Amino acid sequence: MTSYFIRRVLLIVPTFIGVSLLVFTLTRLVPGGPIERMLNEAAMAGNEMGASAMVGGYDGVGGSTLSAEQLEELKAYYGFDKPVLISYLEWLGKVLVLDLGTSTRYGEPVWDTIRDRFPISIFYGVTTLILTYGVCIPLGIAKAIRHKSSFDNITSVIVFFGYAIPSYVVGIAVLTLFASEWELFPLGGFVSDDFEDLGFWDQVRDVFNHAVLPLLAYLAGSFAVTTLMMKNALMDNLAADYVRTAVAKGMAFKRAVFRHALRNSLIPIATSFGSNISLILTGSFLIEKIFNIDGFGLLGFESLVERDYPIVMGILVISSLLFLIGNILSDICVALVDPRVRFGSDGAAG
Partner 1 sequence: MADLPILSVVGLSAAFATEQGIVSVVDGVSFDLSAGATLGLVGESGCGKSVTALSIMGLLPKPAGRVTGGRILFKGEDLLALSAEQYQRIRGNRIAMIFQEPTTALNPVHRIGRQLIETLDMHRPELSKREKTAAAVELLDRVGIPAPDQRLRDYPHQLSGGMRQRVLIAIALACRPDVLIADEPTTALDVTIQAQILELMRELQREYGMGILFITHDLGVVAELCDEVVVMYAGRVVERAGVAALFANPRHPYSEGLLASIPRLESVPKTRLVTIPGMVPALSDMPDGCRFRNRCSRASNRCQVEPPLVAAGAGRVVACHHATGVDE
Binding site for partner 1 (CB under 8 A): 240-242, 244-252, 259-260, 263-264, 337-340, 348, 350
Q: Minimal distance in Å, beta carbon 129 to partner 1?
A: 24
Q: Minimal distance in Å, beta carbon 14 to partner 1?
A: 33
Q: Minimal distance in Å, beta carbon 7 to partner 1?
A: 23
Q: Minimal distance in Å, beta carbon 282 to partner 1?
A: 32
CB 232 within 8 A of CB 152: no
Give the residue among 36, 114, 112 at the shortest CA–CA distance from 80. Answer: 36
In the bound state with partner 1, the residue whose beta carbon lies nearer, of 43 and 269, is 269
Distance CA 228, CA 177 (A): 29
Q: Minimal distance in Å, beta carbon 344 to partner 1?
A: 17
In the bound state with partner 1, the residue whose beta carbon lies nearer, of 175 and 246, is 246
In the bound state with partner 1, the residue whose beta carbon lies nearer, of 205 and 340, is 340
In the bound state with partner 1, the residue whose beta carbon lies nearer, of 126 and 252, is 252
- The DSSP symbol for 56 reads T
Distance CA 139, CA 152 (A): 9
Residues 6+ apart with CB under 8 A from 339: none
Q: Minimal distance in Å, beta carbon 199 to partner 1?
A: 48
In the bound state with partner 1, the residue whose beta carbon lies nearer, of 95 and 247, is 247
In the bound state with partner 1, the residue whose beta carbon lies nearer, of 216 and 266, is 266
In the bound state with partner 1, the residue whose beta carbon lies nearer, of 120 and 145, is 145
- The DSSP symbol for 257 reads I
Give the residue among 20, 11, 9, 8 at the shortest CA–CA distance from 96. Answer: 20
Give the residue among 191, 189, 173 at the shortest CA–CA distance from 181. Answer: 173
Q: Minimal distance in Å, beta carbon 8 to partner 1?
A: 23
Helices marked H in the chain: 2-29, 34-48, 68-78, 84-96, 110-145, 150-164, 167-174, 200-220, 223-238, 241-248, 253-256, 262-282, 285-290, 296-305, 309-337
Taking residue 141's Cβ as centre, other Cβ atoms within 10 Å add up to 19
Distance CA 59, CA 65 (A): 10
